[in-house]
Amino acid sequence: MLSGKWKLEIMWLLHQRIYRFGELRKGIPGITQHMLTAQLRELEADGLISRTVFAEVPRRVEYEMTSKARALGPMMEALTAWWSEHGSSVPQKRSDSSDRKAGERG
Q: What is the pLDDT of residues 5-21, one digit of tens each?
A: 899 889 989 989 999 99
Domain count of the fold of the chain: 1
Q: Which amino acid is at 99?
A: D
State pTM to two decimals.
0.73
Domain membership flag for residue 24: yes
Domain membership flag for residue 99: no
Percent of the chain with pLDDT over 90: 52
Domain membership flag for residue 54: yes
Question: Apex CA 10: angle with CA 6 and CA 13, to 5°?
Answer: 145
Q: What is the CATH number of the domain that holds 8?
A: 1.10.10.10
Domain membership flag for residue 96: no
Domain membership flag for residue 84: no
> Mean pLDDT across the stretch 50-79?
91
Q: Rounded to an integer, what distance in angstroms lies between the CA atom of residue 25 and that of residue 19?
A: 10
Domain membership flag for residue 40: yes
Domain membership flag for residue 16: yes
Domain membership flag for residue 15: yes
How high is the pLDDT of residue 47?
Answer: 95
Domain with 7 in it: 1-72
